[in-house]
Structure 1
Amino acid sequence: MTETDIRDIVIIGGGASGALTAWNLAVRHGVTCTVIDPSERPGFGLAYSTPSLQNLLNVAAKGMSADPDDPDHFLRWLHDNAPGSVAPGEFVPRAIYGLYLRNLYSIAAPEHERQAAVACRRLDRGFEITLADGRKIHAGRVVLGCGHFDPARLPGIPPELDVTGRYRHNAWAERVFAGIAVYDEVAVIGTGLTTVDVLLRLRENGHRGRVTALSRRGLFPERHADYTPLPAPVFTPGGIEPTARAYLRAFHGALKRGADWRAAVDSMRSVTNALWLMLPDAEKIRFQRHLLRRWEVVRHRMAAHIADILDQERRAGSLRVLDGRVTAIAPDNDGLTITAVAGEEEFSLRAAHVINCTGPSLKYKRVDAPLLHDLFEQGEIMPGFGDAGLSCTPDGALIDHAGKIADDLFVVGPARQGVLLESIAIPEIRCQAKEVAEMLVNGNAP
């Protein structure tokens, strides 16, 4: 029989969510935990493991402190560890931020189990976690910090296309740029921040061919620019009817009164999730259908000089942007044929390579994650709103199939998008990590 190790607090996932939770446990409470993650370098996760210095944070350095109580924490770390000076309003490479997270992880010094967790079963007291190598760990309390998963498989694109070497299902896979020649025509699906990163990496690797970006609306993120912050959100929970239409009307009203749109968007950061939680389900669906992409475009902005690069590419014709929903991709003699629909009109184009830049999947029942499938099968976890993320309280206590709120099983990070609108950025994750660490130590969970 495999010997079972006994641990108190176990965090599954070693990206930003796991690293910040471990750091909060250590520096605020003097508690050491165990982190289960197959990576040899926990702390980086998917977002901050990029090797490219062209892939920048989309929040200025002054807003990226890991400590919600110490806004200058990251700036001081940069001063002490990065060569040269970094201005508070500068957008630093994500790879640098990854080193910062890795440093915090090292300070926390958790015990690291370099394996994937493949199962987690509830016991009379605590949980039994099975690792990929067959070992079992007994945990008193568990935090899921699983991060992001591969994009969902798009309709009309069969898995067999992956073996052609011309279709890349995941823009973050290690060999995504392998085999792309200097002047190959490349098509990317999506016009979000992932597409921006891929374009920059292609050019950094010496690619000079045309890149065609396809998405339903053809909208890239807006650019950052200086503005005078507003003293308060343009509207707040309780002071407005909880409907998507009322929210849009109130926001437009602030713009008509002279508010800078960037200032108005950023003023909402502190109340976005509270406003979201007030909406009835029918209004959440309406917001997602009609307003979510518009919100994302203005909310998740690009550094100004990155936006300048895209503008130059578009003017030069080396970046082409087309409105269209991809319905099929098929191999031909020396490339791929992409079929798309814009409105009621179907069109096609050819490319040597296609990269899926639609972003991580939040449909957790469909992702390739044995641990989540095991927890779903047991009824320990349930999908969140719209089958996205996980069902949990706003402060991260997971809810099982019977509606019971756990006091020993929590989630930090993207999976909370099953209940929250904002849960993927550091300003949200740092607060979640601090609060969950407090609940784990002081036992004040719901």
Structure 2
Amino acid sequence: MSAIPQERRVVTAIPGPKSQELQARRTAVVAGGVGSVLPVFTARAGGGIIEDIDGNRLIDFGSGIAVTSVGASAEAVVRRASAQLADFTHTCFMVTPYEGYVEVCERLAELTPGDHAKKSALFNSGAEAVENAVKIARSHTKRQAVVVFDHGYHGRTNLTMALTSKNMPYKHGFGPFAPEVYRVPVAYGYRWPTGPENCGAEASAQAIDQISKQIGAENVAAIIIEPVLGEGGFIEPAKGFLPAIAQFAKDNGIVFVADEIQSGFCRTGQWFACEDEGIVPDLITTAKGIAGGLPLAAVTGRAEIMDAAHAGGLGGTYGGNPVACAGALGSIETMKELDLNAKAKRIESVMKARLTEMQEKHDIIGDIRGRGAMIAIELVKSGTKDPNPEATAAIAKACHAAGVIVLTCGTYGNVLRFLPPLVIGEDLLNEGLDIVAEAIAAV
């Protein structure tokens, strides 16, 4: 377990004087376009705690946006990465390769859904993984069109901005965007006009109809979807939607890509969220939780699709950096050893029970959703389904002031999302939820 005491401690205002001083230095030299949820500067982190430079200890319900699932200083990650640092930091896999890269690809072949032959390519970030998945799919199919979904988020590079559905803050003022990207409806049960029970069938029929009529299935290289939509509001597509879309892709020679960057690696209580309905994607993109906080990403998929790109067509100077690969092997070791899928399911049962109690008292909680340790509440104006971003921001602010890091998301800015490290202690989890309850009651 972490060397940092696993207890919340608030000793100054948040942010404290040292953080405020550092924030002034930051303002002078860091570009204004780089935001921060909470300007407290971290000194150490581990388990379910982030300790700032003023000595405050905050309960971490964000995991650096689903990255530090094994904690921010997991023993196996630190041990393996430190050993690799001592041997060499970099050679570039495309110049002289090394075993760590190969071993990560072996682990990915073993862990990702499906028993077909699989290969991987490693990159630095989620957006890079998605962008390369598109390159691979286009190379394999000799087609150009890419289909994505309402409320989807896939990154901030030029191509992935085109794939992302939310304008502010991700796309505004940054166009023009890459062509041949088409957006279709997703099965958002809470907001589906005829109700969640009809949503899966109706939304998939609508999406397939639009693809067939507006693009032509024979022109589509890839369909890309997050099995649980992250930035869009932790939307779990209504049951039946994903299998219908995956089957349509299969029937039409379209590469089905599961973007598991936020939902992968035990986050939802399964290695990958697409397993919930037995989906076996052609390609799967991973990043975030893969390497315990070190920058690494991957595209893994059917060997014949992955091999479609010509030699030299995939890569990047830092892709599959040896230290990050060592971190990934340590992260996967920790996930298996501590059975973090079971931990994620336990976190879900604790959180959903507590959040349901809050919903019974406060009708601004319109919906509770998500799986594992990827849980969210959608906040609405009393007695309606109208989004309530003001209440969402106020609740997040109150939690921050009390020493709990929470994140918001959602196309309408009205979703409070919870992504605790999977290694968080249950007492800490409950204490954080007490503070969330107080913040909701106050609003």
Larger relative contact order (C-alpha < 8 A, sep ≥ 6)?
A: 2
Which TM-score applies when normalising by structure 2?
A: 0.33
Higher-Rg structure is 1
Greater helix fraction, Structure 1 or Structure 2: 2
Which TM-score applies when normalising by structure 1?
A: 0.32
